[in-house]
């Protein structure tokens, strides 16, 4: 009987342990919340198991054909037995309540995991589509692609926890995982494998050149740079490979008013646009930042200049250029020297440009139109 009373004492004490469910505050770190919930879940599971074992032991003690125990029980008052029965009922009730709490916590954890997985897939795909685009050089290994991918997505903290699953049989994709307590996995497909360098392909008819392939090479800085187009180019492919980061002098000396295809270029990875339209004396095409929807329904921003650092000489001697480019993101540009030198017609309001990082702006607007008001120019 002493053992039985002792067991019930332990059972009563353990069953009255409090268990606080953490509230889901919007400001609380999701990872910490999940860890806390999982610890609480394990604590409840352990407590339920402990109490169930004690109840089993009580039943064993009572059901055993033990004469001495039976004698003790016969001598026990009805009130004592009622009290024992009441305690057992209370314990069972509390165990039931804890099982309900356990179920709720499991549901909460599963919901958090589901939302975390959705977030993982969303931003992994976003960085891949916007910054890599599936354009892979054949000189890159899977590890090279993965390293570039992590660098492009470093603004998202969880990218630090990404790992590459290497599969030599997968030539046209790579798989990344995020390992915390839960494994998230996403397969990323390559759209096209490009050669290490490529000569441009084009045809010229009646002094009008149409390009079917963009040429590119690796320059002295290790950047992938575009080949300069011929002066009479009227059409180029509307897809600019994502690995091309240098467009320096791409259309220099072009004599046309419009160059078809170029207005759809995704320039989000481009860092150098120096001299891009230098001496393009008839050029006046709309190259403002705008949303484009591809044939596969992927949306992107054409003429996204957010990563450009060099705009030196970009429109120098572009006599008639006068398009609205006030929505360009110039926050990373460091060099705007001679940018609109002798761009005689330009008078747009670009006073909203972020030029906080510009270090060089000599002759930015020298020899431009008198109609271009100072208050419409950037504030260096």
Convert the pLDDT of each residue in 133-161 to its tens digit: 889 999 999 999 999 999 999 999 999 99
CA neighbours closer than 13 Å in the CB half-sphere of residue 280: 28
DSSP classification of residue 323 = -
CA neighbours closer than 13 Å in the CB half-sphere of residue 277: 27
CA distances from 53 to 6, 59, 60 (A): 14, 10, 11
pLDDT computed for residue 268 by the predictor: 96
Which runs of E-coded beta strand occur in the chain? 135-137, 162-165, 173-179, 183-189, 192-194, 201-205, 208-213, 216-218, 224-226, 233-235, 290-293, 299-302
Q: Give percent of the chain with pLDDT exceeding 70.
A: 78
Phi and psi angles of residue 234, each rounded to the nearest 5 degrees, phi first: -115, -15
Give the pLDDT band (50/70/90) at residue 23: very low
pLDDT computed for residue 153 by the predictor: 94
Q: Which of 41-45, 189-193, 216-220, 256-260 has the lowest mean pLDDT?
A: 41-45
> How confident is the model over 54-76, as a mean pLDDT?
59
Could you give the 3-state DSSP secondary structure of residue 85?
helix
Q: Which of 1-10, 53-62, 284-293, 357-366 has the lowest mean pLDDT?
A: 1-10
The 8 Å CB, 24+ separation contacts for 26-32 are 30/112, 30/116, 31/180
Whether the pLDDT of residue 8 is over 60: the answer is no
pLDDT computed for residue 37 by the predictor: 66
Q: Which of 36-50, 162-176, 244-258 has the lowest mean pLDDT?
A: 36-50
pLDDT computed for residue 18 by the predictor: 41
Whether the pLDDT of residue 74 is over 70: the answer is no
Longest dimension (CA), the chain: 119
- Taking the C-alpha atoms of 9, 13, 14 and 15 in order, what is their torsion angle to the nearest 10 degrees? 100
Give the highest mean pLDDT range of 19-23, 159-163, 295-299, 335-339. Answer: 335-339
Q: Give percent of the chain with pLDDT exceeding 90.
A: 60
pLDDT computed for residue 275 by the predictor: 99
Tokens representing 230 are: 């011929």
Give the pLDDT band (50/70/90) at residue 65: low
The contacts of residue 198 (CB under 8 Å, 6+ apart) are 213, 214, 215, 216
Give the model confidence (pLDDT) of 232-250 as tens digits: 999 999 999 999 999 999 9
For the beta carbon of residue 304, count every other beta carbon within 10 angstroms. 20
Higher pLDDT among residues 16 and 259, named by residue: 259
Q: Which of 52-61, 149-158, 366-375 has the lowest mean pLDDT?
A: 52-61
Give the pLDDT band (50/70/90) at residue 27: very low
Whether the pLDDT of residue 83 is over 90: the answer is no
Average pLDDT, the chain: 85
CA 318 to CA 344: how far, in whole Å?
A: 8
pLDDT computed for residue 151 by the predictor: 94
Strands of the 201-205 sheet, one edge to the other? 201-205, 208-213, 233-235
DSSP classification of residue 218 = E
pLDDT computed for residue 38 by the predictor: 67
Whether the pLDDT of residue 173 is over 80: the answer is yes
């Amino acid at each position: 009987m002493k053992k039985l009373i002792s067991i019930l004492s332990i059972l009563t004490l353990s069953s009255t342990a409090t268990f606080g469910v953490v509230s889901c505050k919007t400001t609380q770190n999701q990872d910490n919340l999940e860890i806390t919930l999982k610890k609480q879940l394990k604590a409840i599971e352990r407590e339920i198991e402990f109490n169930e074992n004690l109840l089993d032991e009580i039943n064993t003690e009572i059901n055993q054909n033990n004469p001495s125990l039976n004698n003790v029980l016969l001598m026990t008052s009805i009130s004592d037995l009622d009290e024992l029965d009441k305690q057992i009922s209370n314990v069972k009730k509390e165990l039931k309540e804890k099982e309900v709490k356990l179920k709720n916590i499991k549901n909460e954890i599963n919901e958090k995991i589901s939302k975390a997985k959705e977030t993982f897939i969303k931003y992994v795909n976003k960085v891949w589509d916007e910054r890599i685009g599936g354009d892979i050089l054949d000189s890159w290994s899977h590890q090279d692609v993965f390293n570039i991918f992590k660098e492009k997505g470093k603004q998202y903290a969880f990218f630090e926890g990404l790992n590459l699953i290497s599969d030599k049989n997968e030539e046209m994709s790579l798989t990344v995982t995020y390992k915390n307590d839960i494994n998230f996995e996403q397969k990323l497909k390559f759209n096209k494998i490009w050669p290490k360098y490529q000569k441009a392909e084009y045809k010229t008819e009646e002094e009008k050149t149409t390009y079917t392939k963009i040429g590119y090479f690796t320059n002295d800085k290790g950047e992938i740079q575009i080949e300069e187009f011929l002066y009479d180019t009227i059409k180029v492919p509307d897809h600019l490979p994502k690995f091309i980061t240098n467009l320096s002098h791409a259309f220099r000396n072009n004599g046309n008013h419009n160059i078809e295809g170029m207005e759809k270029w995704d320039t989000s990875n481009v860092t150098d646009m120096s001299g891009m339209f230098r001496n393009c004396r008839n050029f006046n095409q709309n190259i403002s930042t705008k949303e484009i929807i591809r044939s596969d329904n992927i949306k992107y921003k054409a003429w996204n200049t957010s990563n450009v650092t060099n705009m030196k000489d970009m429109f120098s001697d572009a006599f008639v250029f006068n398009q609205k480019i006030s929505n360009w993101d110039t926050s990373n540009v460091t060099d705007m020297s001679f940018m609109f030198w002798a761009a005689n017609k330009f008078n747009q309001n670009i006073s909203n440009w972020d030029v906080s990082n510009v270090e060089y702006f000599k002759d930015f607007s020298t020899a431009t139109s008198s109609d271009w008001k100072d208050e419409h120019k950037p504030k260096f």
